[in-house]
A = this chain, B = another copy of it.
Amino acid sequence: MNDIEIAQQAKMDKITEVAAKIGLDSSQIEQYGDYKAKIKLPVGSQKTKGKLILVTAINPTPAGEGKSTVTVGLGDAFSLLQKKVIIALREPSLGPVMGMKGGATGGGYSQVVPMEDINLHFTGDMHALTTANNTLAALIDNHIYQGNQLHLDQRRVQWKRVLDINDRALRHVVIGIGGVTQGIPREDGFDITVASELMAILCLAKNLADLKRRIGQIVIGYTAEKKPVTVAQLGVTGAISLLLKDALKPNLVQTLAHTPAIVHGGPFANIAHGCNSVLATRTGLELADYTLTEAGFGADLGAEKFLDIKAPVLGKTPDTIVIVATVRALKMHGGRAKSELKTEDLTALRAGYANLQKHVANMKRYGIPVVVAINRFTSDTTAELQQLQELCAQDKTAAVVADVWAKGGAGALELARKVVELSAEEHTFKPLYKADAGIKEKIEQIVTQIYGGTEVVYSPKALRQLKSFAEFGWDRLPVCMAKTQYSLSDNPKALGAPKDFAIHVREFVPKLGAGFIVALTGNVLTMPGLPKVPAANGMDLSDDGTVSGLY
């Protein structure tokens, strides 16, 4: 059976029963059908009590590392151990679902369900973000058209439109053409919704008041004199906020084994900050003894941003970090092609281990206990699994094999016990940089300590921007790196653990509502494209409503 068939055969608990498991009665949730709900705000005691487990991974390869699958399987293992656990994942984006990557609900017997709903429209959060984003864009262009009282320079509008779709044809567009009554012509572009500042804001806001405050602070563009103009100045903070009031509420679903899962917020980790919402994670910490959460792509992106951007807002750092790796993916990092992965190859594995090794060292650097979860595939040989564990042991890194796709929680019991043990350890969090360090210093720390690079090369434009940021008082904000997910460097082809490389910052995008500055490196795109044969072409809907071809 494939993932969707397994998911469709699941016998789910009613969402009211799932809510009851974490102490929420039916008046504290809003049902969306029988198996999905939004959790009303504020939740519970407002006091965080539980342990926080962050699941991250090596750099992804086409072989797949199964981070979500391990997170879900690990959560179910906690349930089997009678621990009160909540899984906190990100929401899938429809762009990759229709394109190539597929959904984001785990796989095999470690999935969150209802899989189809979560991967399609779910409770509408993405759509609310798209709508709020584009309503703001329309209000901006209308402001310019209707007299432009704020003196926005149409060449300096920074606020882009978005869609939750992979659509390369919208990356660069010219709008407002067609004559006098059709708006003011200007260059514009669309990003994917998950890359939007509103998504970051949704994921970082502590409550509705904080959401509104952040939205008011968004810089939509600049005047001809290069002065920033904000949403608050445009006078539409209220309208944009109310479009997001329901999206801010965390979504409750369940795993195949009925473990409660909060799936909320979904920024990509390459072009955005890559973590699910602060409110979702906080809800977990308030209601459960263990909250398992995942950050996007490899630990160089998602985990770094979790620790440096999200944790300060959350007011809590992880008690254990789980780094997911597979023998297959490490062999690719060691130089093998995707077609060669079924053959045992201890040399390639040893070479590729460098990638895992670097991520482990990075996470240990923050002072947090680390365990490697080796996500088992059927093609892994005993010798390979053994060698990988030995390599970890040589580095004094705990490493446990998990078999979650086939066995669900039962395949991750040992991993769960290890995580419980590590989470009880005393440890002291060591931040990567001081909160008040300058932008260049922060980037240098990330590049040298996390990526393993030697220097940062700024484009002339980026350097000019840094000057103006100093003027505006934005020069001490956290930095959100936009970088390829495939490599520790900004070159997607440099697998393993590249050395002696420079990171190229070509442009900054200040996101004052999110509260950070995005640094665009390499050629990373904020709007993906579709492949030659999109996943959409394999999808179908039967006359009775059964979905197929979703994965």
Kindly specify which of A173-181, A196-204, A251-259, A423-431 makes contact with the partner chain: A173-181
Pick from A80-88, A207-215, A452-460 the stretch touching chain B. A207-215
Closest chain B residue to A31 by CB distance?
Answer: B31
Q: Tell me the complex Cα distance, A176–B138, Å.
A: 21
A137 to chain B, nearest CB (A): 7
A240 CB to nearest B CB, Å:
8
- B239, B242, B529, B532: the one contacting A537 at CB < 8 Å is B239
Closest to A163 in B: B134
Does A433 have its Cβ within 8 Å of any Cβ on chain B?
no
Residues of B within 8 A of A163 (CB): 134, 138
- Within 265-301 of A, Cβ neighbours of B (below 8 Å) are at none
| A121 interface residue (CB < 8 Å to B) | yes
Residues in chain B near residue A537, CB distance under 8 A: 235-236, 239
Name A543's contact: one of B138, B165, B207, B235 (CB within 8 Å): B207
Residues on B with beta carbons closer than 8 Å to the beta carbon of A346: none
- Assess the A131–B94 pair: CB atoms within 8 A: yes
Cα A98 to Cα B240 with chains together (Å): 10
Residue from the list B135, B142, B170, B183 in contact with A94, Cβ < 8 A? B135
Pairwise interchain contact A182-B175, C-beta atoms closer than 8 A: no
Q: Answer whether A168 and B139 are a contact pair too, CB < 8 Å, given A30-B34, A173-B174.
A: no
For the complex, is A536 an interface residue (Cβ under 8 Å from B)?
Answer: yes
The residue on B at minimum CB distance from A94 is: B131
The chain B residue with its CB closest to the CB of A241 is B541
CB–CB A239/B164 < 8 A: no
In the bound complex, do residue A543 and residue B238 qualify as a contact, i.e. CB atoms below 8 Å apart?
Answer: no
Interface: A130 (CB within 8 A): yes
Q: How far is the CA of A16 from the CA of B504 in the complex (A)?
A: 58
Q: Are A242 and B120 in contact (CB under 8 A)?
A: yes
Of the candidates B121, B146, B182, B246, the one whose C-beta lies within 8 Å of that of A171 is B182
Given known contacts A127-B124, A167-B141, A543 and B208 CB-to-CB distance under 8 angstroms = yes
Query: Taking the nearest CB of chain B, how far is it from the CB of A70, in angstroms?
Result: 28
A242 contacts which of B30, B178, B239, B541 (Cβ < 8 Å)?
Answer: B541
Contact of A167 with B246 at beta-carbon distance under 8 Å, contacts A146-B532, A177-B174, A208-B541 already known: no
By a CB distance below 8 angstroms, the chain B residues around A208 are 541-545
Q: Closest residue to A117 on the B side, CB-wise?
A: B246
Assembled-state Cα–Cα distance A540/B94 (Å): 30
A467 on the B face (CB < 8 A): no
Asked if A165 contacts B138 (CB within 8 A), the reply is yes
Residues of chain B lying within 8 A (CB to CB) of residue A166: 138
Q: Give the oligomeric copy count.
A: 2
Contact check, B138 vs A236: say whether CB atoms are below 8 A apart. no
Contact assessment for B235 and A138 in the assembled complex, using a CB-CB cutoff below 8 Å: no
Q: Is A169 an interface residue (CB 8 A)?
A: yes
Is A461's CB within 8 Å of the partner chain B? no
Interface residues of A in 112-170 (CB under 8 A from B): 120-121, 124, 127-128, 130-131, 134-135, 137-139, 141-142, 145-147, 163-170
Query: Which of A134, A135, A183 is packed against the most chain B CB atoms within 10 Å?
Result: A135
How far apart are the CA atoms of A532 and B145 in the complex, in Å?
A: 9
Closest to A535 in B: B239
CB pair A120 B243 closer than 8 Å: yes
Complex: A532 Cα to B530 Cα, angstroms = 38
Judge whether B30 and A131 touch: CB under 8 Å: no
**Chain B residue contacts of A522, Cβ below 8 A:** none
| Binary per-residue interface labels of chain A (59-102) against chain B in the complex, 1 for a CB within 8 Å, 0 otherwise | 00000000000000000000000000000000000100010000
Interface residue A172 (Cβ < 8 Å from any Cβ of B): yes
**How near does chain B come to A205, taking the closest CB pair, in angstroms?**
12
Q: Which residue of B lies closest to A137 (CB)?
A: B167
Evaluate contact between B172 and A135: CB separation under 8 angstroms.
Answer: no
With A146-B532, A541-B242, A543-B208 as given contacts, are A127 and B131 in contact (CB-CB < 8 Å)?
yes
Smallest CB-CB separation from A168: which chain B residue?
B183
- A207 to B544 CA separation, bound complex (whole angstroms): 9
> Which of B34, B120, B171, B246 contacts A178, CB < 8 Å?
B171
Given contacts A173-B177, A208-B545, A238-B541, 20 further A-B contacts (CB under 8 A): A31-B32, A94-B131, A121-B131, A137-B167, A138-B163, A142-B529, A168-B183, A170-B175, A171-B182, A172-B176, A172-B178, A173-B175, A174-B177, A183-B529, A208-B541, A238-B540, A238-B548, A239-B539, A239-B549, A241-B540
10 shortest interchain CB distances as A-B pairs: A172-B178, A127-B127, A238-B540, A169-B183, A239-B536, A138-B167, A141-B169, A30-B33, A142-B530, A239-B539
28 contacts between A and B (CB under 8 A): A31-B32, A120-B242, A120-B243, A121-B243, A124-B124, A131-B165, A138-B166, A139-B534, A141-B167, A142-B168, A142-B169, A145-B529, A146-B532, A169-B182, A170-B183, A171-B182, A172-B176, A172-B178, A173-B174, A212-B541, A235-B537, A236-B534, A236-B537, A236-B539, A238-B539, A238-B540, A242-B539, A242-B540
Q: Which residues of A contact B (CB under 8 A)?
A: 30-34, 38, 41, 94, 98, 120-121, 124, 127-128, 130-131, 134-135, 137-139, 141-142, 145-147, 163-178, 181-184, 207-209, 212, 235-236, 238-243, 245-246, 529-530, 532, 534, 536-537, 539-545, 547-550
